[in-house]
Structure formats: C-alpha cells, structure tokens
Amino acid sequence: MKNHQLEVIEVGYKRQYTKGVVIGTYSNLYELKKSPCFATLLGNGGTLSEVTRRKGGVVWIPLNRFDGVKKLKVILGKGKHYKYEVWRNIVVRDGGFMVTANITTYDKQGEVIAQLN
C-alpha cells in the first residue's frame, strides 16, 4: 500500500516561523465558523491544529505535534457538508520536509468517499 505525501511548509505564527502541514484556508473568521476545519486525535485526545490569524489565514498542524501520533482525524465542514478524514500510519520523512500517511475520507454517515494511498 502506497502512502499519500503531504508537503511541509513554514507557517508564520505568533511572530515566528514554524514548519507544519496546512489542512485548510479561510478568508475571515465567519467563513471558518460556517465551515470549520480542525484536526484532533482519535478518541477525544485533544486538538492538534492551529489557526494563524483572523483574516486570510490557514489552519495547520505544527510538525512537532506529529511526535508519537499514528492516527488522527481531520474534520471538514458541518451540517450537510460535514465530512472527515482519518490519517493512519503517519511518518515524518526527510528530516521534517515531508509527511506521509494513508488518508481515508468519510461522509457524515461514516461511509468511505475516497481513499488516498
């Protein structure tokens, strides 16, 4: 089974640049509240993602949050647009320049929409 590769970029956050994986973008906070995007550990383990600023920002997962994490869940949207992704077998590669994972996307009934391997 082949892993999906996620690009690691430098994100400006709290006046410093940190490496991370971008999982979503938004133009203002209203858009983010209307269509939420965040990452959490499976089993109510806490939120992993961060938000950069109020306008024109990104939702991202800092690279240091992947330490010891094998599975996580990325929630996208709400209501009839709700779907979620489960990332499995997460590995940070190439000295922190690439993250690989098996990603499966589910709809709100829990049925598989897409599987990225």
d(CA 60, CA 19): 9
Query: What pTM does this model have?
Result: 0.84
d(CA 47, CA 63): 14
The domain segmentation of the chain, as residue ranges, is: 4-116
d(CA 50, CA 66): 13
Q: Mind listing the pLDDT tens digit of every residue in the chain (117 residues)?
A: 457 888 888 887 778 888 899 999 899 888 888 889 999 988 767 888 888 876 778 899 999 888 888 899 999 999 888 999 999 999 888 777 889 899 999 998 888 887 765
Rounded to 5°, the CA angle 78-80-85 comes to 60
- Contact between 83 and 73 (Cβ < 8 Å): no
* Residue that is written with structure tokens 């383990």 in the block: 45
* Residue that is written with structure tokens 């929409």 in the block: 113
